[in-house]
Amino acid sequence: MTLDKPSVLLTGGAGYIGSHTYVALTEAGYRPVILDDFSNSHPVVLDRLAHLTGQRVLCERGDVLQTGMVAEVLKRYHCVAAVHFAGLKAVGESVQQPLRYYHTNVSGLLSLLQAMDSVDCRSVVFSSSATVYGDPASVPIKENFPCAPESPYARTKLACEDMLNSLAASNPAWRIGILRYFNPVGAHASGLIGEDPHGVPNNLMPYVTQVAVGMRDKLRVFGSDYPTPDGTGVRDYLHVTDLSEGHVAALRALIAKNQSFTVNLGTGEGISVLGVLSAFGRASGRPVPFEFVPRRAGDVAQYFADVSQAQALLGWRATRTIEDMCRDSWHWQQKNPDGYRTSMSSMQPASSHRNQEPAMPLQPTVAGTA
């Protein structure tokens, strides 16, 4: 198969961050190819992506641990690079099931890299996490701060970084971009794609939107006695669309400038839990009921990025505000009360949103799914 645009494999491309990056890469002139086993995503996302981009979605259903199949896919689509999102991401679950986390996250990356090596495709962007820093001695966090991962999940991410750095040292043909995400939130401005957590959300923003829409009665704010300006935990929330654009910038830097790098992707601004609640109230017009409860085990007081490296190396910086993040999360939640189980025809109209729906008819557009 020959394609006029550079093809990029997105493992886990049907998931939350992968689907947004799919849109950003398409808009930037790449041809993304999704490889996903749908263990934590819904195939309906493919219809939404076709609707949003107006293009056939290339997707293969499969497990990244199947090295031979991954090599075949890379070859079939002439991929020039891969972005590796596929993996498990729940910190608490990783404490209960460490072997599953090492298998999927560490062996999954190993499998992808072996497949890439076998077909001479040696540019890869990896989804790492700010959780590799553990509890930092100070903020903002720079990339050269010591890593002190505290959970099995965080340790799998650091093990993956080590594997990638060893590979880069072994052969200069490898171009490796390690992206340490801070707290991705929000949804595409169309309300067609967003985060669709299964069960009770662990993370703040999906919990807040579910309270606001009436699915849960109130937010429990974990801790009011942290050494932060208002006593609640401070994080660096980043709009998922900014994050997706960070991947485009990372790929460009890898391919065009022949660089390898490890960078933080965040806004550089710390916002407290109460700060998020107040931004959410402004963006949605709905106050969110909450109560203070004791701190959550393992949480750190504050966490935000030094983003100067991302600006210098990738020419990227986040532009969307916390109000944008809240508004788009709320828009997604309102339009999709059942997440991806909400059919397009029964989607709730957005009451107060600036963006229009794409006016395209929905067609069967998925190629190559098994």
- List the Cα angle 53/2/250 in 5-degree steps: 55
Q: Which of residues 167-206 bind ligand NAD (CB under 6 A)?
A: 181, 184
Please compute Rg for the chain using Cα positions. Answer: 20
Q: Which of 3, 39, 100, 352 binds ligand NAD (CB under 6 A)?
A: 39
Query: Counting contacts by CB under 6 A, is residue 15 touching ligand NAD?
Result: yes
CB of 207 to ligand UDP, least distance (A): 4
Residue 241's Cβ-count burial label (10 Å; 0-12, 13-18, 19+) is: buried
| Residue 107 or 165 having the CB closest to ligand NAD | 107
Residue 207's Cβ-count burial label (10 Å; 0-12, 13-18, 19+) is: buried
H helix or E strand, kind and range, residue 92: helix 91-96
64 binds, among ligand NAD, ligand UDP, none (CB under 5 to 8 A by kind): ligand NAD
Q: Which stretch binds ligand NAD (CB under 6 A): 32-40, 205-213, 255-263, 278-286?
A: 32-40
Distance CA 305, CA 173 (A): 30
CB of 241 to ligand UDP, least distance (A): 18
Q: Which residues are catalytic?
A: 153
Query: Counting contacts by CB under 6 A, is residue 65 touching ligand NAD?
Result: yes
Q: Dihedral sign for Cα 342, 344, 350, 354, please.
A: positive
CB of 195 to ligand UDP, least distance (A): 11
Q: Which stretch binds ligand NAD (CB under 6 A): 30-38, 165-173, 298-306, 359-367?
A: 30-38
Distance CA 266, CA 182 (A): 5
CB of 354 to ligand NAD, least distance (A): 25
204 binds, among ligand NAD, ligand UDP, none (CB under 5 to 8 A by kind): ligand UDP
**Which whole-number Å values give the CA distances from 290 to 97, 211, 277, in the listed order?**
31, 9, 9
331 binds, among ligand UDP, ligand NAD, none (CB under 5 to 8 A by kind): none
Residues forming contacts to ligand UDP in the complex (CB under 6 A) are: 183, 202-204, 207, 219-222, 233, 235, 273, 296, 299
Residues 6 or more apart from 1 whose CB is under 8 A from it? 76, 77, 78
Query: Counting contacts by CB under 6 A, is residue 233 touching ligand NAD?
Result: no
| Residue 131 or 190 having the CB closest to ligand UDP | 131
Query: Counting contacts by CB under 6 A, is residue 16 touching ligand NAD?
Result: yes
Q: Which backbone phi and psi does 90 adopt, to 5 degrees? A: -95, 115
Torsion over CA of 269, 309, 131 and 135, rounded to 10 degrees? Answer: -70
Distance CA 66, CA 112 (A): 9
CB of 127 to ligand UDP, least distance (A): 15
369 binds, among ligand UDP, ligand NAD, none (CB under 5 to 8 A by kind): none
H helix or E strand, kind and range, residue 82: strand 79-84
Which residue's structure tokens are 């989607």?
347
Binding site for ligand NAD (CB under 6 A): 11-12, 14-18, 36-41, 63-65, 85-87, 89, 104, 108, 127, 129, 181, 184
